[in-house]
């Protein structure tokens, strides 16, 4: 899995490419924890190129969402393909984590 990160206008963007599963979850968690060492309170996950999401990946995402809530921040997932979106719907996380159709709509949601 590849993880690209940038900050723009007070929003931290994290783009995931490949598979977020038991093998890659520790790397994703480490990246997110590094971001949380700062003062960031707006986080956007770009899943346009995320091919697969396992329960280990869901745990990482839920942990990030909980931390943003604790910080009274804003968090959104963007550009989910049909498989990843289905994982969120079946798990019930889609009801508690904001999901936007595109990065642009995600930016509007957390701005």
Percent of the chain with pLDDT over 70: 100
* Burial label, 90 (beta-carbon count in 10 A; 0-12, 13-18, 19+): exposed
Task: Out of 3.30.70.260, 1.10.3720.10, 3.30.750.24, 3.40.50.300, select the CATH number for domain 2-100.
Answer: 3.30.750.24
Mean pLDDT across 18-27: 97
Model confidence at 102, in pLDDT bands (50, 70, 90)?
A: very high
Contact by Cβ (8 Å): 21, 52: yes
- Segment 79-104 shows an average pLDDT of 94
pLDDT at 39: 87
Domain boundaries, the chain: 2-100
Read off the pLDDT of each residue in 81-110 and give the average, rounded to a whole number: 94
pLDDT, tens only, 43-60 = 999 999 999 999 999 999
2: left (phi over 0), alpha (psi -120 to 50) or beta: beta
Whole-number Cα distances in Å, 55 to 23, 41, 75, 90, 103: 11, 25, 19, 12, 24
How many Å apart are CA 107 and CA 43, to the nearest integer?
9
């Amino acid at each position: 899995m590849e993880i690209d990160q940038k900050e723009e206008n007070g929003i931290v963007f994290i783009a995931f490419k490949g598979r977020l599963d038991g093998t890659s979850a520790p790397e994703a968690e480490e990246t997110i924890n590094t971001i949380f060492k700062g003062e960031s309170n707006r986080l956007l996950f770009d899943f346009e190129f995320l091919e697969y999401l396992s329960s280990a990946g869901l745990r990482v995402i839920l942990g990030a969402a909980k931390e943003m809530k604790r910080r009274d921040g804003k968090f959104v997932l963007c550009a989910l393909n049909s498989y990843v979106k289905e994982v969120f719907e079946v798990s019930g996380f889609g009801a508690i984590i904001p999901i936007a159709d595109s990065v642009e709509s995600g930016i509007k949601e957390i701005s």
